[in-house]
Structure 1
Amino acid sequence: MTMSRRGPRRGLAGLLALWALAWGAGALAHDFWIEPSSFRPGPGTAVAVGLRVGEDFIGDPVPRTASLIDRFFIRQAGEEQAISGADNIDPAGFVRADGRATALIAYTSTGSDLTLPADRFTAYLRQYGLDPIVADRERRGESGLAGRECFYRYAKSLLTGAGPDPAVTRPLGFTYEIVPDTDPTMPGGAPLRGHVLFQGHPVAGAVVTAHLQGEPTARLATRSDARGAFTFPLRRGGVWLVRSVHMVRAGMLARWLHARDWESHWASLTFDWPGPAQPAPGRAS
């Protein structure tokens, strides 16, 4: 939706821009994910697509802001469709579920710049397991400098259908993304296995965490191996959030033109896991 630049709407546009800036600053050290109104919609069901920001899978709504959206779409039945909506509204959009197979909702953001004081930047890096960045700043004598960063979001969510869709196990080509090895919405998907990819290549040593909705203490954490692979021994069914952060030093042009020293890439995946497969009747569990 394009706003007019005339009359009172100019003030509204300015307020929205200020809100977007404030949201970016407040959300830096928080996870970002997609939370649909139903993870298991029936065929033809309208699903509200909410965006959330928070910690431990407890989040606040993020109203839709067109200037922050790079891509926002649903992929189902072999087709991709953009998710439209009105600015400054939660939910951020609506989709109609096909229901025949797993559908994938995806969101990528434009970059948001932020500068943090040195101590807060270091604390945030340690909180998210970005210790190599802490070490690199120490090695370069930058530990006392403010952290100048541009961050990007790459969120995916799966809607359970009548059957699996192998497409959900394929990369979408996002700069940073979490790719499950099998469709985690189907029974028997334990342990959960997947890969983290940066620019299509596996990332070794990335911290990956999994959070169970409604259970803030049910948090699993691991690091990806040399192939970018990770494994979580899920034992309880429910809605799960898997997330990871990857940070790289900004290029010389970005540092010169935009005063950015770092670029962080935040990936998330939400889905409803049905739980462990039940043993066949008459067989020991």
Structure 2
Amino acid sequence: MRFARPVAFILLALAANTVGRAALAHEFWIAPEKYQVKLGASVRADLRNGQVFSGARLAYFDRNIARFEIWDQAEARPYSGRMGDLPALQLEAPAEGLLVVAHETTPDDLTYDSWEDFAKFAAHKDFPDIEQRHSARNLPRTGFAERYTRHAKSLIAVGSGAGSDRAIGLLTEFFALANPYSDDLSAGLPVELRFQDRPRSHAQVEVFERAPDDTVSVTLIRTDADGRAVVPVKSGHVYLLDAVVLRPLDPEATSGDDSATTGKPAPVWQTHWAALTFAIP
């Protein structure tokens, strides 16, 4: 029923906007339909936002994308979809090897009407001193805003899946130091967490593990002085790694942006979320 597409497109646009604002304190990740595909097959993946490795599908919209790239073992290239595409990524017959999909969102703001909501979020993401830092800057406890961006990667095996991940210059990112589809991971999967092209040391990493029966467990690990950590993994399971940077933001530095014309408060904190998804055969 081709005539139904415009209506669906409008609904998708409304849903994308609603989800983007209602679930901002939740994780964002790339969710391939299959983490291992045959050579010559297409790769399809959703952008998702939610909790405990379950979330709403987000359609492809240019206004929400700062960077969307496909990295195979030979080259990197930008990815462009059609407005409203679900899944957001629809890639035909990529080259054989380990495929890296990278996505960065444009900045968006969230206003907190409750101090408790912000404090719980900050504590959950390993910033227990947030109240002291907030008070030291003489910031209001309600009616203040946070600016956030998302920086997601996914590892997909095409054919043999041979090859390696690498740091690709996202503002904050994980990169796998071993291939989850071909290497011996009996001791776990080593990863490195980076921010501004440097290792991020002693940072909390939240590990979401989905079992074959779709149950999800959550554990916390921490990077070492070199920004590295080892993720315990199991055959047949799917993983999402999540880590958040929280930094002060001078409201004077954003006084010329949209907040000045919309009447919304200028953001005083900024968060940058790194995510990595992969599966273990």
- TM-score relative to the length of structure 2: 0.83
Q: Which residue of 1 aligns with 2:122?
A: 125
Q: Is the 8 A contact 1:158 1:185 kept in 2?
A: no
> Which runs of at least 4 in structure 1 moved beyond 6 Å after TM superposition?
12-15
Select 2:104's aligned residue among 104, 108, 114: 108
Structure 2 residue 263 is the aligned partner of structure 1 residue 266: no
Q: Is the 8 A contact 1:99 1:160 kept in 2?
A: no
Select 2:85's aligned residue among 89, 92, 97: 89
Q: Secondary structure at the match of 1:120?
A: helix
- Number of paired residues? 261
Structure 2 residue 31 is the aligned partner of structure 1 residue 35: yes
Point out where structure 2 has 5 or more consecutive residues left out of the alignment.
Answer: 1-5, 260-265
Structure 2 matches for 1:57-68, cutoff 5 A? 57-68=53-64
2:203 partner amino acid: A
Q: Which residue of 1 aligns with 2:190?
A: 193
1:148 partner amino acid: A
Q: Which residue of 2 aligns with 1:135?
A: 132
Q: Measure how far apart 1:178 and its partner are.
A: 0.9
Point out where structure 1 has 5 or more consecutive residues left out of the alignment.
Answer: 1-8, 275-285
Identity percentage of aligned residues: 28
CA distance in 2, matches of 1:55, 1:236: 23
Structure 2 residue 227 is the aligned partner of structure 1 residue 228: yes
Structure 2 matches for 1:246-285, cutoff 5 A? 246-251=245-250, 253-257=252-256, 258=259, 259-274=266-281
Distance 1:191 1:81, change over 3 A: same
Q: Is the 8 A contact 1:57 1:216 kept in 2?
A: no
Segment drifting more, 26-35 vs 227-236: 227-236
Structure 2 residue 171 is the aligned partner of structure 1 residue 164: no
Q: Measure how far apart 1:261 and its partner are.
A: 0.7
Q: Which residue of 1 aligns with 2:207?
A: 210
Structure 2 residue 158 is the aligned partner of structure 1 residue 151: no
Aligned Cα RMSD in Å? 2.4
CA distance in 2, matches of 1:14, 1:37: 23
Q: Measure how far apart 1:14 and its partner are.
A: 11
Structure 2 matches for 1:165-184, cutoff 5 A? 165-166=163-164, 168=165, 170-184=166-180
Q: Secondary structure at the match of 1:119?
A: helix
Q: Is the 8 A contact 1:107 1:155 kept in 2?
A: yes
2:236 partner amino acid: G
Segment drifting more, 142-151 vs 153-162: 142-151
2:171 partner amino acid: T
Q: Measure how far apart 1:253 and its partner are.
A: 4.2
Which digits, 9 at most, give the CA deviation of each residue in 1:209-265, with x for residues without a partner?
111224544222112222222222224432111111111111454343341111111
Q: Is the 8 A contact 1:134 1:143 kept in 2?
A: no
Q: Which residue of 2 aligns with 1:278?
A: none
Q: Is the 8 A contact 1:187 1:273 kept in 2?
A: no
2:201 partner amino acid: A
- TM-score relative to the length of structure 1: 0.82
Q: Which residue of 2 aligns with 1:49?
A: 45
CA distance in 2, matches of 1:204, 1:171: 16
Q: Is the 8 A contact 2:98 2:161 kept in 1?
A: yes
Segment drifting more, 133-142 vs 50-59: 133-142
